[in-house]
Amino acid sequence: MRTNPVTPTVTAARPRRVLVADLVGGLLMVGIMVGAYVMTRSLSPQAAEFPAAISIAGAALGVVLVIRALIGTREAPHDHSETEDDDLDYVFHTASTMQWLATLAWFIAFFASLYVLGLYATSMLFTVLYLRFQDKRSWVFSGIYAVILTGVLYLAFNVLLVQPVPAGYFGLA
């Protein structure tokens, strides 16, 4: 249980507001479901029966979501910047554009490197650069950490488990 300071704001007094995110989500769902239904038209009746049925049901529910979003709500939006007692709110609600761009750049760089250089080279390169520039660690610390991490991965997957790992474009891993 927690205590919240409350002012005399009465929910009923607020004007209705359209739920834009739900409206977009609902339209997207209707689009996906209609697209899925159209794709089933080229299948034989037997193969199309089940996917067609669920895509029609999905389109109908999507329309309901769109209507609900348009009718809107009088409730105030949840303020994700207030952590209250639960800090489980994801940072995705509050992150700035710069945070998003930086994170996505690192994320994409990792997988691009994995695709080109393979697992072990990416492990070394990404670990050193990420720790050096994102965590402001020293070059020495980042290097030692990268060597240990890559060594452990190599031991686990190549020596102990003999398990294939993602090889890069040049077949490096």
- Which of the residues 69 through 88 are near another protein (CB under 8 A)? 75-79, 82-88
Could you identify the residue written with the tokens 């890069």? 168
Distance, in Å, from the CA atom of 155 to the CA atom of 142, rounded to the nearest integer, reads 20
Cα–Cα distances in Å, from 124 out to 26, 67, 112? 43, 51, 14
- Shortest separation between residue 15's beta carbon and another protein, angstroms: 13
Closest CB to another protein among 51 and 72? 51
CA-closest candidate to residue 122, choices 134, 141, 109, 139: 109
The reply to whether 8 sits near another protein by the rule CB under 8 A is: yes
Question: How many whole angstroms from its chain centre is CA 16?
Answer: 30
The reply to whether 140 sits near another protein by the rule CB under 8 A is: no
Which of 3, 41, 159, 171 touches another protein (CB under 8 A)?
A: 3
- Shortest separation between residue 89's beta carbon and another protein, angstroms: 9
Distance, in Å, from the CA atom of 128 to the CA atom of 116, rounded to the nearest integer, reads 18
102: left (phi over 0), alpha (psi -120 to 50) or beta: alpha
The reply to whether 54 sits near another protein by the rule CB under 8 A is: yes
Neighbours of 133 (CB within 10 A): 12
Residue span 16-45 as binding mask against another protein, x where in contact by CB under 8 A, dash where not: -----xx--x---x--xx--x--xx--xx-
- Shortest separation between residue 131's beta carbon and another protein, angstroms: 7
Q: Which residues between 78 and 137 bind another protein (CB under 8 A)?
A: 78-79, 82-88, 90-93, 95, 99-100, 103, 106-107, 110-111, 114-115, 119, 122-123, 126-127, 130-131, 134-135
- Shortest separation between residue 153's beta carbon and another protein, angstroms: 6
Q: What is the dihedral of CA 144, 141, 136, 86, to 10 degrees?
A: 80
SS3 128: helix
- Shortest separation between residue 79's beta carbon and another protein, angstroms: 5
